[in-house]
Amino acid sequence: MSEPTPVRVRPEIAALPVYRQGRQAGAEAFKLSSNENPFEPLPHVVDALRDTTAVNRYPDASASRLRARLAERFGVTVDEVHIGAGSVSILSQLILAVSGPGDEIVYPWRSFEAYPGLVVVGGADRVEVPLAADGRHDLTAMAAAVTERTRAIIVCSPNNPTGPVVTQAEFDAFLRSLPDDLLVILDEAYAEFVTAPDAVDGLRELGVVRPNVVALRTFSKAYGLAGLRIGYAVGHRRVLDAARATAIPLSVTAQAEVAALASLDAEDELRDRVRIIAERRDRIAAGLRDAGWCIPDAQGNFVWLPTGAETTDAAATFDGAGLIVRAFPGDGLRISIGEEESVDTVLRIAASVVEGLPEDHPARRLA
Ligand SMILES: Cc1ncc(COP(=O)(O)O)c(C=O)c1O
């Protein structure tokens, strides 16, 4: 125990759990706990990084080359693109830009574990809307949770950690049911892994920016740059200006920008890798169902096992087999799609875990 401090920390901050990162894996273990990309960086990206050595200089504050590149790609203006040190930092900026004490932010739960903390730090109240039983957003309940105090609503598609998408038709109807001054944040961190043809795609219509919708994307997952911290938003210029105003200046490094540009140059190769990960995911999901698991549709680079009260024990079983997975005690386990060499062990251990669950456990497929 450390000595108490006389410093007065905001009580809601003192009560906040510290962000828990997926555990690091030992040399023999597979780290399947942080939804990272298992492939090593492309040589072309490493070369570009090697050439970016002027670390005695500050980076270009607005990452203008990457903004221009993304603007061209999505048919929008440069002002309708914003770059952040990971998409989570843009999420934080947006929340700070639109809300403060007395306001509310609505989001699905369970979803990305950073949401509650970001809302509390900004001073607004959290409004968590439970997912439906199949791990999908309950958009009707989310729309019904909107009050005069609501400033933003977050949609996470595919939902981390459960996996299903929101469909384009559902999203469009949802938007129509909301007040038009409400900011809708569409968090699409895993969009590139989606294979469901009817999934929402916040960047589907070239050149179309809806005035109250911001789509968030990242280079951390499909592009394999998690360690460099770079993500982007596409949305209305005024909304993004407000986010830019809350940003910590110069937090996107030149290395991150250069690596993102190099990744866009090597997009075909990266898309091949994404295809491999999505196929591996589908194979794992099918194997889990064959073994008797009842799991939600997996559209990201992870699968969800709704182990409920058995979660901690199940995580220990995976751990014992050298598989570091993410446990949400009382709720379920999320297993990232990792190296091909991890697949057989994942399926073997998962089969033994499901056999040990009570017959009437919701995670067991009904015969
Ligand atoms: C749903 C979701 N949004 C955002 C992020 C943050 O990604 P980034 O690395 O771009 O900050 C994650 C990362 O796990 C995520 O799962």
Mark whether 29 and 70 lie in a shared domain: no
SS3 sequence, the chain?
CCCCCCCCCCHHHHCCCCCCCCCCCCCCCEEECCCCCCCCCCHHHHHHHHCCCCCCCCCCCCCHHHHHHHHHHHCCCHHHEEEECCHHHHHHHHHHHHCCCCCEEEEEECCCCHHHHHHHHHCCEEEEEECCCCCCCCHHHHHHCCCCCEEEEEEECCCCCCCCCCEHHHHHHHHHCCCCCCEEEEECCCHHHCCCCCECCCCCCCCCCCCCEEEEEECCCCCCCHHHCCEEEECCHHHHHHHHHHCCCCCCCHHHHHHHHHHHHCHHHHHHHHHHHHHHHHHHHHHHHHCCECCCCCCCCEEEECCHHHHHHHHHHHHHCCEEEEEECCCEEEEECCCHHHHHHHHHHHHHHHHCCCCCCCCECCC
Would you say residue 119 lies in a domain? yes
Q: Over 90: is that where the pLDDT of 176 sits?
A: yes
Q: Find the mean pLDDT for residues 53-79.
A: 96
Q: What is the band of 4 on the pLDDT scale with cuts at 50, 70, 90?
A: confident
Whether residue 274 has pLDDT greater than 80: yes
Indicate whether 56 and 18 sit together in one domain.
Answer: no
CA of 48 to the centre of ligand 1 (A): 24
Q: Which atom of ligand 1 is nearest to the CA of 219?
A: 10
pLDDT of residue 367: 46
- Dist. CA 164 → ligand 1 center (Å): 16
pLDDT, tens only, 241-250? 999 999 999 9
Q: Is residue 47 part of a domain?
A: no
Specify the CATH number for the domain of residue 115.
3.40.640.10
Q: Is the pTM of this model over 0.85?
A: yes
For residues 350 and 258, membership in a common domain is answered with no
Domain encompassing residue 22 = 11-40+268-364
Q: Kindly give the distance from the C-alpha atom of residue 101 to the centroid of ligand 1, in angstroms, as a whole number.
A: 25
Q: In the predicted model, is pLDDT for residue 47 greater than 80? A: yes
| Mean of pLDDT over the chain | 95
Tell me what percent of the residues of the chain surpass a pLDDT of 90. 91
pLDDT for the residue 126 = 98
Q: What is the pLDDT of residue 3?
A: 84
Is residue 6 in a domain?
no
Predicted confidence at residue 282, as pLDDT, reads 98
Residue 22 has pLDDT above 90, yes or no: no
Which of 265, 282, 311 represents a domain boundary (last residue)? 265
Q: How far is the CA of 357 from the centre of ligand 1 (A)?
A: 31
Question: What is the residue with the minimal CA distance to atom 2 of ligand 1?
Answer: 189
Ligand 1 site residues (CB inside 6 A) read 35, 86-88, 112, 156, 160, 187, 189, 218, 220, 226, 231
**Total tally of structural domains belonging to the chain:** 2
**Closest residue by CA, ligand 1 atom 8:** 86
Range with lowest mean pLDDT among 15-29, 62-76, 172-186, 324-338: 15-29
Q: In this structure, are 82 and 204 located in the same domain?
A: yes
